[in-house]
Amino acid sequence: MSILFINACVRKDSRTLRLAKHLLSKLDGEITELNLEKENIQALTQDTLAYRDTCLHCGKFGDPMLSYANQFANAETIVIAAPFWDMSFPSSLKNYIEAITVSGVTFTYVNGIPKGLCKGKKLYFVSTCGGPFTPDFGYNYIKTMAQGFYGIPETQLFTAEFLDVIGNDVEAILKAAEESIDKTF
Ligand SMILES: Cc1cc2nc3c(=O)[nH]c(=O)nc-3n(C[C@H](O)[C@H](O)[C@H](O)COP(=O)(O)O)c2cc1C
């Protein structure tokens, strides 16, 4: 099984990364990590969008600009680690979504309806937050993209909440989150 690990964690000693690594230790397969900070994927611009459109129009699906999309399309299992930022996730992950959501590579349109072209069967989303976790603008968006665009049928969420509340036992919360991961395997 090929596992694509999309690491959108930012802080040193990231709690989200700790949980994601715990999850990855439970999965069998070869892990390829994309550290989004290192990848530094830029938001699409007038020029890069036009270039991408030209590639797609000319059938240049092997162009380096489409490498993230091709890699994502071929991954069997996907693990995304993203801290809960501003009710969603860091913008590096949004830039990544822009880079992989490519018609003709990760999805296509059939009578105007997106149809997935990805091999992936399961996408895990791992997040931690300072207060309560709300799935609306982060996890639910990723789930909608996975199921509605990429054709990845199953998604699963793991979180640890209230980590920044003064007096909370952070270690105990993280241990409980790790145990909830253990229970699903
Ligand atoms: C830029 C930024 C935005 C954040 N936004 C929220 C938020 O909207 N809601 C919340 O509960 N916590 C928020 N937090 C707190 C983080 O979700 C929390 O500290 C989380 O555990 C960080 O994950 P990490 O340890 O993997 O970096 C924010 C933290 C940062 C740095």
List pLDDT tens digits, range 27-76.
999 999 999 999 999 999 999 999 999 999 999 999 999 999 999 999 99
Please tell me the predicted confidence (pLDDT) of residue 1: 85
Model confidence pLDDT, tens digit, residues 91-106: 999 999 999 999 999 9
| Beta carbon of 133 within 6 Å of any ligand 1 atom | no
Range of the domain at 131: 2-183
9 lines ligand 1 (CB under 6 A): yes
Predicted TM-score of the model (pTM) = 0.98
At 81, is the secondary structure helix, strand, or coil?
A: strand
Cβ of 15 closer than 6 Å to ligand 1, yes or no, is yes
Ligand 1: centre distance to CA 85 (Å): 5
117-120, long-range: CB < 8 A, 24+ apart: 117/73, 117/150, 117/151, 118/72, 118/73, 118/74, 118/75, 118/150, 118/151, 118/152, 119/73, 119/74, 119/75, 119/76, 120/72, 120/75, 120/76, 120/77, 120/78, 120/146, 120/150, 120/151, 120/152
State yes or no: pLDDT of 116 exceeds 90.
yes
CATH number at residue 15: 3.40.50.360
Over residues 71-84, mean pLDDT? 98
Band of the pLDDT at 119, cuts 50, 70, 90? very high
Q: How many structural domains does the chain have? A: 1
Residue 86's closest CA among 22, 10, 178? Answer: 10
